[in-house]
Amino acid sequence: MTDGLGGHASAERLILLLVGAVGAGKGTQASLLSRELGLVHLASGNLFRAALAAGTPLGEAAREYMEAGALVPDEVTIAMFMEELARPAADAGAILDGFPRTVGQAKALDDTLASAGERIRRVLYIEVPTDVLVRRVAGRWICPQCGTTYHEDTDPPDIPGRCDRDGTALRQRDDDRPEVVRARLDKQVPPMLAVVEHYERAGIVDRLDGTQSIEAVTNVILASMGARAAR
C-alpha cells in the first residue's frame, strides 16, 4: 500500500529537516527529537568538523572551504549526507540540520533522495522574530575565569555583571554582541526563508512558534508527528 505521496509508507524512513536561525533552539530540539523519535541527528557543521578532525577524504575535500568560512560544494555535502543516511543508525530515519541551506542545495538534495526512492517528509521551521533572537544570543555572558555562563533574562547573576562563583567581571563573546548577531542573521535568514518557501510549495512545512518554551515546541512537534502517523 502506498501513502498516497508516491512512496511505500511502511518502507519509507522518516527524514525530517529542521530549520531555524541562530538562537532559535534548533540544536536543543534536534537532540530531544532524535531521542524521542529514534532518529539520527545529522548536523552538517558537526559532520564536517568531525571529518576534518579525523582526516578522512571527505574532511580533506571540505577543508579549504571550511577554513575560508565558505559553503562546501554541493556534491561533497550531498555525498556526506547520503553516506550518513546509509548507516544502520539512520535505519529509522534522520533529522537533517544545517543542510540544505540554499534553494540550490535543496533541489540537489531532493533529486538525489528521489533517485534513492526517498524524500524529505516534513520540514520543521522554528520561527522566532529577529529581535527575540538578538536578545537571546546577545544576552549571554560568560565568566572568563571559571567559564560559567549566564543570561540577562533567564539566568542572571546575583550581582549584575559579576560571576556568582568568583566575582569576576563577566564578558560577552565577540560574536554574541548585538550588532554582530544582527549581521549574522541578515546573512543567514534570507536563504533560510527561501528554503522554507521551496518546501512550502510541496506542502510539507510545519511552522512552529519558537518563542514558546523548549518543552512546548517539542510537544507540538511530537503531537503533529503522532497525528500524522495515526492517519
Question: Which residue in the list 26, 121, 122, 136 is annotated as catalytic?
Answer: 26
> Any bridge partners for residue 149, and if so which?
142
Q: Inter-axis angle of helices 74-85 and 103-115, to 10 degrees?
A: 40
User: Is residue 157 part of the contact set for ligand AMP (CB under 6 A)?
Assistant: no
Phi and psi dihedrals of 167, rounded to 5? 75, 0
Round to the nearest angstrom and report the end-to-end CA distance of the chain: 14
User: Is residue 59 part of the contact set for ligand AMP (CB under 6 A)?
Assistant: no
Question: Which residue in the list 121, 122, 136, 184 is annotated as catalytic?
Answer: 184
Run of H or E residues at 127: strand 122-127
Nearest residue (CB) to ligand AMP, 145 versus 188: 188
**Min CB(4)–ligand AMP separation in Å:** 30
Report CA-CA distances (Å) from 58 to 15, 53, 83, 141: 23, 11, 11, 36
Question: Which residue in the list 35, 173, 187, 228 is annotated as catalytic?
Answer: 173
Residue type at 225 in one-letter notation: M
CB-closest chain residue to ligand AMP: 45
- Residue from 29, 34, 77, 218 binding ligand AMP (CB under 6 A): 77
**Min CB(24)–ligand AMP separation in Å:** 13
**Min CB(166)–ligand AMP separation in Å:** 31
Strands (E), 21-130: 40-43, 93-97, 122-127
Catalytic residues: 26, 101, 140, 173, 184
Summarize as ranges the residues that interact with ligand AMP (CB under 6 A). 44-45, 48, 65-66, 69-72, 77, 98-99, 101, 105
